[in-house]
Amino acid sequence: ASTPSLPRLSAFPSGSVRVSAARVRGSTTLGSCRRPPGALSLAAAAWPSPPFSAPLRPQNGRPSLRECPKEEARRRLRELDVADKFSRLPLPKASVLLPLVVRAGRLCLLLTLRAPQLRRSPGEVCFPGGKSEENDKDEIDTALREAKEEVGLPPEKVEVICRLVPGIDKMNYLVTPVVGFIEDTFQATPNPDEVSDVFVMPLEYFIRPLNYMALPYKTSSGYLTWMHCFTYHDHERNKSFKIWGLTAHFAVFLALVVFRTKPTFEVDYDLDNLISSAESKFMNLYASVNEKKKSNL
């Protein structure tokens, strides 16, 4: 399977910005792509245990995210399911599975490390996924098929929750993130031709990271924005992983949907109107892709 590649870096004169402390700052309005302010560095800090960002007590008669992480996350995600709203856009299709799992009472994400011998994006962190094939019924089928091929995850063991707002990769593939829950007993069996490692990390790290950078980049269509770049250290295995590009983009949006709180870095969404601002941002990107195509004719 060929997982969609990351957006390419642009040759901007400005450098990157490192943010290594948890501090809520800055604007969260749509289109805000200013350089995130820095913060104090934390050397070799361990990822803190809960509390979660979500409130402790029930709201509107519903349990909180800490009390019932799976049930409440499921409800919040289904509220923002885009279903097949973008499926008919005239772009080649790809999908990724964002596998959520509850570990020790906290929501976590399963990610993979691409095999070093792959031609595209070797050694990069990504979600299980790849290009659509003729026999796939929809984006969900693609994501589940690829997850089985890459990490041995049986499709029937995934509780599919929703599809979130898609992205467009540097090859102009429409990449749909499919969110689903898996059991914490799942043992990955990586396909060595495609995957060199599988790891699980807290979802909350994507709104409260200990090691974060914002890098300027532009897509193949010339669309300018900021790229999230996280470094996560797995202390149990003494390994560090860099999550960036489209993978980080999807993980951040998923965390925003689930936790409904400001991250410790700037994002270009209106957090009070998350789905509409995400869709507007995506349609701006899609429009820029179309303009680029027309200019190349």
The rounded distance, in Å, linking the Cα atoms of 260 and 52 is 11
Higher pLDDT, 171 or 147: 147
pLDDT band at 25 (very low <50, low <70, confident <90, very high): very low
More confident residue, 29 or 297: 297
pLDDT grade for 61, boundaries at 50, 70 and 90:
low
Query: What average pLDDT does this structure show over 14-40?
Result: 32
pLDDT at site 63: 58
> In a 10 Å sphere around its CB, with 0-12 CB exposed, 13-18 middle and 19+ buried, how is residue 235 labelled?
exposed
Q: Where are the beta strands (DSSP E) in the chain?
A: 17-19, 93-103, 106-114, 125-126, 129-131, 159-163, 167-168, 174-181, 195-202, 212-218, 224-234, 239-244
Res 36 pLDDT > 60:
no
Mean residue pLDDT across the chain:
81
pLDDT at position 281, please? 93
Q: What is the pTM of this model?
A: 0.79
More confident residue, 1 or 100: 100
pLDDT at 52 over 70: no
Q: Write out the DSSP string of 118-148.
A: -SSSTT-EE-SEEE--TT--SHHHHHHHHHH
Contacts of 149 (CB under 8 A, 6+ apart): 1, 191, 194
Best-predicted range by mean pLDDT among 9-13, 15-19, 32-36, 81-85? 81-85
pLDDT band at 11 (very low <50, low <70, confident <90, very high): very low
Q: Which residue has the higher pLDDT, 86 or 296?
A: 86
Say whether pLDDT at 43 is over 90: no
Q: Quote the DSSP letter at residue 261.
A: S
Classify residue 241 as exposed, middle or buried by CB count within 10 Å of its CB (0-12, 13-18, 19+).
Answer: middle
Note the pLDDT of residue 295.
76
Q: How far apart are CA 224 and CA 285, in angstroms?
A: 9
Q: What is the DSSP letter of 216?
A: E
- CATH 3.90.79.10 fits domain 17-29+62-295: yes
What is the rounded distance in angstroms from the CA atom of residue 147 to the CA atom of residue 126?
A: 12
Residue 57 has pLDDT above 80, yes or no: no
Instruction: Provide the angle, in degrees to the nearest 10, between the axes of the packed helices 245-259 and 274-295.
Output: 160
Give the pLDDT confidence of 190-232 residue by residue, as tens digits: 999 999 999 999 999 999 999 999 998 876 666 677 899 999 9
Q: How many C-beta neighbours within 10 Å does residue 200 have?
A: 17
- Whether 149 has a pLDDT exceeding 80, the answer reads yes
Q: Which two tokens stand for residue 240?
A: 């560090």
The mean-pLDDT minimum among 66-80, 163-177, 264-278 falls in 66-80
Q: Residue 192, Cα to own-chain centre: how many angstroms?
A: 23
Regarding predicted confidence, which is higher, 59 or 215? 215
Q: Is 121 left (phi over 0), alpha (psi -120 to 50) or beta?
A: left
- Does residue 239 have a pLDDT over 70? yes
Q: Is the pLDDT score of 64 beyond 70?
A: no
Scan for tokens 């499709």, then name that residue.
155
DSSP 273: G
Around Cβ 39, how many Cβ atoms within 10 Å?
17
CA–CA distance, 56 with 68 (Å, rounded to integer):
10
What is d(CA 163, CA 242) in angstroms, rounded to the nearest whole number?
A: 25
pLDDT attached to residue 288: 87
Q: Is residue 3 scored above 70 in pLDDT?
A: no
